[in-house]
Structure 1
Amino acid sequence: MMATAWFGILGPMDVRVDGRPVALHGPRQERTLAALLLDADRVVTVDQLVDVVWEEPPASARRQIQDLVTRLRRTLVDAGAPADLITTRRAGYLLRPGERGLDARAFESAAALARRTARQDPAGAVAGYREALSLWRGAFLAGISGRTFEAAARIWQERRIAAVEECLALELSLGRHHEVTAEALELVEQHPFRESLVELLMRALHGAGRLADALDVYRLLRKRLADELGLDPGPGLRGLHDTLLRSQAEPAVASVRAAGPVAAMLPPDVYGFTGRDRELARLDALLATAAEQPTALVIAAVTGAPGVGKTALAVHWAHRVRDRFPDGQLYVNLRGFDQSGRPMTPVEAMRAFLDALGVAADRVPAAIEAQTGLYRSLLAGRRMLVVLDNARDAEQVRPLLPGAPGCLVLVTSRDQLPGLIAAEGAHPLRLDLLSDTEARDLLARRLGGERVAADPGATAEIIERCARLPLALAVIAARAATHPDFPLAAIAGELPAVHDNLDAFHAGGPGTQVRCVFSWSHQALSAEAARVFRLLGLHPGPDLGVPSAAALAGLPVERARPLMAELCRAHLLTQPSPGRYTFHDLLRAHAVELTQAFTPEAERRAAEHRLLEHYLRTAHAAALLLNPHRHPVLPAPSGAEAAGERPRDRETALAWFTAESAVLVAAIAQAADHGFDSHAWQLAWAVADFLDRRGMRHEHLAVHTTALAAARRAGDLRGMACAHGHLGRAGAAADRLEEARSHFELALDLHQRLGDLLGQAGACDGLGHVCHRLGRHEEAASWYERAAELHQEHSQRGGRR
């Protein structure tokens, strides 16, 4: 029986006769054979062989090629190959390996057969593709260099990847999402810019229930393309990304639209609003011309200095036109220039909007892109007004923009928002100081036309010394209104003269002349109210209730309530909703200045401690009402420790957390920044269940990251264990499973060191949940069994830790 020769080029060169390896003699012989195999069954000329064997051929190259081929033929024949395997032709040489003698030919045949049978027998086609791909042993002709071989390697590598993609696509159609995910992840690492592979990976992740990871893969590719090539993903991949966002949004959209909630989030209109006729007319015109481009979203950007009345204008105009938006009005204060230095994140703002639109917590996706997709799906086809107040920059605004026409967005900011104007086509509207006439009308509206007309000189002096700034005029009008018998000349005479201009406003500072107006208003308060106002500058959150103000000032609630009312009458505070108080960021800045100037550091620190104790004790009690099975981290309060409010039941606890959640998140950061590390991690523990229940995953991660750092600084093993456990929960909820696993392992180790059986059981439960999500079901069962054992051991010890 004639011996059979076999050649392998799908990897390092491999030559066999009847299965026995044949050793070639030197790199030139290898390159000669490789060139003949690349053109198997076709004549390869002597000149072609010369080009691949030498980069700079010698004069005797043609004769040496003849010698190389002769020796190659003898090597193969001596190994038992047929003598006519390589034959001489007039122009060169011909190698005929046969149908089964070359791995590359076998690969092509198997892949072509799989391709033909894919529609009728997808499972059989997958097996065929896998058989074809198994012929690859490494890089094409690995170890043999040269332009010809490198070009051939690129072609064959493309054929291999195409076969892999066709195979993986078939496996996805058979529901093998987990298997495809593992292989596609490795391939994308090797070929990060190949969009067809990225698409397969995204589809696999989505099919495996890992939508957040699929969106992360898209984000990474988009960033790589932009950073390294200055490109965007292609239309196919963008379309898949949009489809995945819609798939996430559809169930929530359907349930919300079935319920039909109408959001009405606008704050109350400003009493006594006057003037700004030109600006209001421009906004009206913008609304009237929106139909000229029915496919575009209309955005108005109201910009100007602090205190110039941007919010008042936006809210007043929004109330004027709200009947034009029958599907509702959304409003959020983005706190872009808040004195705390912590602007609201797009995630926090989005969560408030989704709440207002009626989206249940378990329907809110983890990734901001998915939340934006849900939000835009909810607003599609609706006529809604969206007011984004006090934005820091365009990046804070973009995720909150609706994606379809019919809605109108009104943004206010101290920043000029050039990016929003350039990229999104926002219409700029710069708000300047009031004119003298407008300022006089404002005072007349607040104080009465007769009183203002009776003393035009004093009125002009008040306007001049308030620098025509609406906020300063409102403060002075409040002072005059509370003393109707005071002549305006007396009010004007008490005001300091203006020496500076408003340039400081454009740098974000409060402005000297406005500071003087505020200072005068502060001096007109009762001593107790003035002290409360100063201490309010220490409060971390966007708003607060009377009990919190009482704790900050160290006063009974009954005494604090009339003081807060006094501050409201002086227009130093506003009450946007019953029981909640806030103030303009310039007034907050002034309160901070005053407390730093007039309140000793020891008193400031004591006030902060009282406030944190108030929030911690209340949050701790509310947390145990929401989940009575949690083991307390604080001892039962008694005596001086009995600070804070006492929610009556689960409903009042939930309502308290809802009102205070943004404040608590800010208080945790402030506690950590100011050295109250125990308060930081314990507050994070207390708010954890509420954040988890409301789907506030980003806040959950943020507060426990802060808590972990604080507990580490304090050397508190219990705090570290709690923080790791909650970071594990938050990571699992956000589909960051490997990260969650690591946190649960660290929590388990710390709880073991503490001898805390319940803590160990919770960590084991978390590890079981993560392993189950990762498809490691046997490992998950083992962790669940361990958790059950620990619970039983805890019970046998009588519930002691």
Structure 2
Amino acid sequence: MVELRVLGPVEAWAGDRRLDVGHARQRCVLAALLVDVNRVVPVDQLVDRVWGAEVPLRGKGGLHSYVSRLRTALADLGDVAIVHRSGGWALETDPDRVDLHRFRGLLARARSAPDPVDGLAAVDRALDLWRGEAFTGLVTPWAVTGRETLAVERWTAELERTDLALRLGRHTDLLPELAARTRRHPLDERLAAQYVLALARSGRQAAALSHYEQVRARLADELGADPGLALRDLHQRLLAADPAVLAGRPAAAAPATPAPTAGAPRQLPAPPRSFIGRADELSALTAALDDVPAGAVVISAIGGAGGIGKTWLALHWAHRHADRFPDGQLFVDLRGFSPDSEPMPASVAVRGFLDALGVDPGRIPTDPDAQSALLRSTVVDKRLLVVLDNAADTAQVVPLLPGGDTCTVLVTSRSRLLGLMTAHGARHLNLDVLTDEEARVLLARRLGAARVAAEAGAVDELIASCQGFPLALGVIAARAHTHADLPLATFAAELRELGLDALADSDPAASLPAVLSWSYRALTAEQQLVLGLLATAPGPDTGLPAAAALTGLSPVAVGRVLRGLEQASLISRDARGRYSMHDLVRAYAADTAREQPREARTAALRRVVDFYLHTAHAADLCLDPHREVVPLDPAAAAPLAPADTAEALAWLDLEQPALLTAQQTAAAHGWDRAVWLLAWTLTTFHNRRGHLAEQLAVCRAGLVAAERLDDPSARLRVHRLLGRTHAALRQHDEAVGHLDRALALAERHEPTTRAHIHQALAWTWSRQGDEARALEHATRSLESYRDLGNPAWEANALNMVGWYAAQNGEHDRAREHCRAALDLHRRHDNPEGEADTLDSLAYIDHRTGRHRQAVAHYRQALALFRDIGNTVQVGDTLEHLGHPHAALGQHEEARAAWEEALELFRAQERDDDADRVRRALDALDGDTTG
């Protein structure tokens, strides 16, 4: 049995064998991954969890090392893996293998168990998982905060266990434990109620009443407050000698849940039969109810797009917790987004609630404000649940809010009700799509597990097309259910071929296009225009500057419109400030965009493509200011101007998906110059980040565009880029073919670029293992660069000649050329060239036995490569650095360098390089243990 533990010391167990997961920092990494098991934890968040404000200079490098060691420690556990994902790491395993998640799962099972015996057994198993304080021994701020949070969860579980034991009549057994607890927690009212109840049921009514008075007096003295409603109610029932309390019948076991009131309204519609998932959202709604401060009404506002499942969530939760509202449940559809009527006036809903509560019609005033006041007075001491479904805005909701502190309100709306949050303390809960697994379960429930299993491929396609949108899945499931004779592949094909039209229906409530149209009609004309343009924008998401370029609006103006669309739940904004929309919403919005004149849509796309091209060009110059300059045409939209290398890399990392799509957009519209120029401007970035597949794709598109332009200058540059990219991918014949074509074009049209091509040929032949031919081409490039009089390019060529001379065993010549290159690079402020040359000098030092000098040079190069964000060269230099460390007997330093290099190579999918470093690590382990 594999066990991963955080509820006590952080440990990993394989059966009876405890694995060595390292020192405190390394255990903190493991804990940070286990808390979010099967979810990606971003690198920055991991660093914060492990070090807090005391991050060392090489924090991320150290993190790489810790993760690598944990991987080694957990390698024998076949169903546990730490995997690298975009931006971070995830520990993937069955959540039940982790004590924390097993604890929470058992509590959830206990809370939903109809039999208190089963519930008590589940809680006991959950509490047995604890072995002390969570994260024992970890002292980072994250660990301390997490320990406190989990302590609250444990305390809540202990209180729930007591409630269940009281329901089962075990009050006598509980008395010693409850007496000790109340001494430790004298102001906990829930605990006080449990102790009072246990005393009363044990025949000690006087002691029970006395303890109540002690708690009441202490609350008054220390907090200036009276006991809450639940404790007061229990006290009154004891004074009245209520037999239901004294007899210990199940209905009286939980004083916070009195018996249902006779004649109380029960307006909830039936619970949804096909409800699935939403565990986090259900927990959040319950937490909002449990954590409310005294004197406040609980208001939860569930937001999300039409058809996302807001009403289903509200009804499922409401039915699940109906016993907590003995005075009834009120429900109204406010018709905020209805296909056939205006939103319901609040006064109509208020009158409906007053009627449901049995208020004498003769007492109801005619003034709407007075009616709302009467509603608040009527429910002030009642424990009611009020569900306000499909609200249009905050103004429609406010008159329906109850008074006092005993009611709970659930509001669903496609609009984000900021006014409700700001003025009334509502908690916002944004509802997103279902996961793929939840979608699969939903289809299985509606269609039968056998049918879903029999057509797994078609089901996968349906899930991918619907992308977790509940209404889309519901429409497909309903049609497949009514046409049981048709294979699911038929519906998958319809969705593939017809797109959104396949989800239309004559019943508006069962038609996704109709549901989306209700939201669309509520928008202003400007919002409709921007939504349509945003649906056609390149990339999966869009930043504010790009949206401004696309729409032609100022950043302030477009920001205002985007906030309105976000309020309408038609787009979402992530933590990076990026705006996106679900693909089905995008398809609907793109259809609406076709209502705009073609010229206007084309102009919008041209503006955003120009924005991406010109900003990428500016970023490229930040990365490599000495690169050959290719002039651009004037921009149709104002680009950004990154201030430095870090800002340029951050923008390119963020916008890469949009940049790739922008090139495709330009190709589709025949903007050929923009197509090949995007390939040109992305080259430095792609090379530094190791995005070789993306570089190959943009270069191939760039060559097609350059050939259509009949521009020899463009063609030779793209052939050169393609040659280097093929060489990086170790596709030697293709690389040489493109570079030979580039060289032929340069001879005829641009002789000054021959040096660049010879340099690319040198690198290509070196990748093939022909160092002599590589040195020959490098030497020719140096001669040409000297003739051109460009010292930065000459420095690059000097370093290249030095490197290949070293590969050919000419170490003195190599060192001479590299030292000359280093001097030029430093004089002309070229940090990338300086780093390359330091790496070369380090290699020469290592090959000539000067291992300490090699380590010093490699470390200088590594610092520069990190500064300029060249993660490809960081990996290469780390690998190189390990060798002189090993030669000096510095095995721990070698291991750290190689482990970090291994992580980078894996992240960059450089499998051959990763295998080579893995072998070096294995050999190092053999040396240290042999």
Q: TM-score range by the shorter chain?
A: 0.3 to 0.5
Larger RCO (CA within 8 A; separation ≥ 6): 1
With structure 2 as the length reference, what TM-score do the two structures score?
0.37
The TM-score normalised by the length of structure 1 is: 0.43
